[in-house]
Structure 1
């Protein structure tokens, strides 16, 4: 390896080799030693349990382990892009070998075992926010902010919500490497039949509200035989209820996560809206109607639904097989608190107990370069690049299979992203309680106000227990 290629690696990142001439002399001397004598010397010096792969330990490559299994990244079609990135990094740093440790999802138990055993991987990527949350309180992830400040990394390229979502108690636990956004899917034929103008494709129209959404849904809902079950519906699923509530200005907790706020007027308005879609306006099927009609989770592909709110992956699903009608994407309606889109996020995290933290940071920076991140996100993870300068690649590539769909709507929604998987105390227990309570409101038409009051008390008890253990 030339001195020039070594100099390309930043100072103080890896141990340097000795002078080139010394390394060559050592190799020549070793070549004159007989195989038997070599084995004898190795045994005397190191014991029979160790076999040297290189007579000069300075020639051994530093191995950087990248753990893949806490999200996407292990599908066969995703591997070439990841391998290409690995080879590019190794060409730049010839004394480094990137080792992907691939574990089937979910891999949190395997990752925990490696960390507890003192043999952690160096980097975990991609990892979804929920996967990151599992290890946040234990200090597993290295705080990247000091490194970002030291190396003057430009974060202005990233969509702001992706940066906000990667912070925890004043630290930054990961760098965004891929995002998934939701949008409104609409059946163009049903819109035309109802003489409705198409919904706006960007978020600049203040008149595109939930109220207007309901009016559109009413126009497209048709109960021809009057049996109470429409043959055509205005609305299919309208997305994550937490994001909808956020558009009404509702929140689960106070900013310090100690006070539960689930019975606020804003949350009551949001849940009443969800209930009214099914039972007052009757523009969306109930769970019981979905079962009776054998609709499954999403009825939009039947051609009998005017609108659906879903995220990025659904667009790909609708290409295989292609839907038998014309459809497009539009902006989500806004609530009193403005538009809110669902944001799922994948990140690259460095394990704080890694023995190669500086090298791991070099890898994360390399991955994050403008010339690398878009390809990795699109081809390696099937995601939208989380940067303003890279997101266009998703539109271009996905547009090859969906040429008549305005995929830029997903990108336009990124500035309004709401990360539903943010850390909160007693997360899984709380989600179970909230989902069960919402089920009674939607399926049993339970009182929204009383249900939320009871729910608020139950979740507050969980949160109080959590903080009491941490005094």
Structure 2
């Protein structure tokens, strides 16, 4: 089952990211139509009255006098539509962008360099968390996108189940002391009640392809230069086999077939946790909003991803950008900047399901009475975040190796055999 992040990435690759035409458009200066009173804004989330984004946009309009014309696009084909728009002669002024594709669009010169704006407004790196601030900076120094927040992967766990089973609670700080893979497995075993509750759910979260390989000492799915299929390396294979064996060997995770059967319901796995059928699960912090609304019968909390040789987590970024062809880049920058200004950041973070990029706004997560108890742990997670290494042919690579994960997770082949067998073909795709 693909997460939303995985689905969007696949859609983008299918559309042919590598075929983007390099565009000139506006230069990396703060010129544009500085007197314009409206701007076009392409986004995949509903911008409905009362939502955090709608409130942030409304506050911006009131303060600036600039009208934001939202151009909504269904999430299911957002990246395909964006690709078409970016290749055309007319682009929106500001866009939401999947963080997987910042590098690809940057390499095609289709995104505006924001450095002149950042310098002009005196924004300091020290006021932001390192990962979201530095992520959009390219090798040539261009700052081609603006990350307003992050949603790191965490362990969501049932506190009551831990206490009832007599299992020590996970760490409340970002440490793997007493929280390595073996500790996680032992907890899952003790939390499992056959026929009633599984100890954990990991393998349906596509981010685990990175976290359980990077934390075993490898580069993750692809090498840092994007040219090698490092998911087939021994350390990565061991990580993938570990999460498969949670089901196949240890019986502490639901069968892959059960999780796949709920594919039509985007909240199926979350509902298993919310109804007490799973005691621990890896999920993006954005799932916190669902948990707050739907967990009724037990106390839940957050814990770090278990470590092994290292302890990192995928840190999904909420990213916006200004196309190089934007007609009103100055207005677009004012909008993006407002999302990280104190008031705008607070408006976006009011549901406490993301970590604002700015350190001051992130203090919202440390307020007393916030659910769950250790929600501020996500700030530590942000500082230990990584992203999947990028290649412009990522979709072709996924089309080759992802079906084999089904084979691994159902026990038809070992991770070593399945991933090793496809390695050459994946690397041919990566280097085509």
Instruction: Find 2:362's aligned residue among 383, 391, 397.
Output: 391
Residue equivalent to 2:430: 463
Matches of 1:115 and 1:271 in 2, distance apart? 36
The answer to whether the 8 A contact 1:262-1:455 is kept is no
**1 CA distance for matches of 2:176 and 2:88?**
55
Q: State the secondary structure of the residue aligned to 1:65.
A: strand
- State the Cα distance separating 1:381 from its structure 2 match: 10
Question: Which of 44, 50, 68 is equivalent to 1:99?
Answer: 68
Q: Which residue of 2 aligns with 1:72?
A: 45
- Where in structure 2 are the equivalents of 1:425-444 lying within 5 Å? 425-444=392-411
* Runs of 5+ consecutive residues of structure 2 not aligned to the other structure: 1-29
Classify 1:159/1:212 alpha carbon distance in 2 versus 1 (closer, same or farther; 3 Å).
same
Compute the displacement of 1:233 (Å): 1.8
Q: Which residue of 2 aligns with 1:313?
A: 286
Question: CA deviation digits over 1:165-184, x for unaligned, max 9?
Answer: 32344332111112112211
Report the counterpart of residue 137 of structure 2 in structure 1: 167
Which one of the candidate residues 248, 251, 255 is aligned to 1:279?
248
Q: Deviations over 1:413-454 (max 9, x none)?
A: 11111224x532212222232321211111134022121212
Instruction: Give the TM-score normalised by the residue count of structure 2.
Output: 0.80
SS in 1 for 2:398: helix
Task: Write the distance in 2 (CA, Å) between the matches of 1:449 and 1:115.
Answer: 40
Cα distance in 1 for partners of 2:244, 2:85 equals 46
- Scaled by the length of structure 1, what TM-score is found? 0.74
Q: CA contact under 8 A between 1:123 and 1:349: conserved in structure 2?
A: yes
How many residue pairs get aligned? The number is 391
How far off is 1:158 after superposition?
2.0
List gaps (5 residues or longer) in structure 1: 1-11, 17-60, 91-96, 224-229, 466-471
Q: Is the 8 A contact 1:208 1:334 kept in 2?
A: yes
Residue in 2 aligned with 1:31?
none
Partner of 1:342: 314
| CA distance in structure 2 between the partners assigned to 1:75 and 1:433 by the alignment | 38
Q: Does residue 62 in structure 1 map to residue 36 in structure 2?
A: yes
On the 8 A contact 1:122/1:360 being kept in 2, the answer is yes
Superposed, 1:37-436 pairs within 5 Å as: 61-69=35-43, 71-72=44-45, 74-78=47-51, 79-90=54-65, 97-106=66-75, 107-112=78-83, 114-124=85-95, 126-130=96-100, 132=102, 135-149=105-119, 152-170=122-140, 171-223=142-194, 230-237=195-202, 239=205, 240-241=207-208, 242-251=210-219, 252-290=221-259, 296-298=268-270, 299-336=272-309, 338-369=310-341, 371-379=342-350, 383-394=354-365, 396=367, 402=371, 405-420=373-388, 423-436=390-403
Measured after TM superposition, the shift of residue 210 of structure 1 is: 1.1
How far apart are the structure 1 equivalents of 2:227 and 2:385?
24
Who wins on radius of gyration, i.e. which is larger?
Answer: 1
CA contact (8 A) 1:373 1:385 kept: no
The CA deviation at 1:89 is: 2.4
User: Judging changes above 3 Å, is the alpha-carbon distance between structure 1 residues 72 and 423 closer, same or farther for their aligned structure 2 residues?
Assistant: farther
What's the RMSD between the two structures over aligned residues? Answer: 3.1
Shift, 1:134, TM fit: 6.3
1:111–1:120 contact (8 Å) kept in structure 2: no
CA contact (8 A) 1:190 1:306 kept: yes
Q: 1:111 to 1:307 in 2, by over 3 A?
A: closer
Q: Return the structure number with greater relative CO, CA threshold 8 A, min gap 6.
A: 2
Distance in 2 (alpha carbons) for counterparts of 1:387 and 1:205: 26
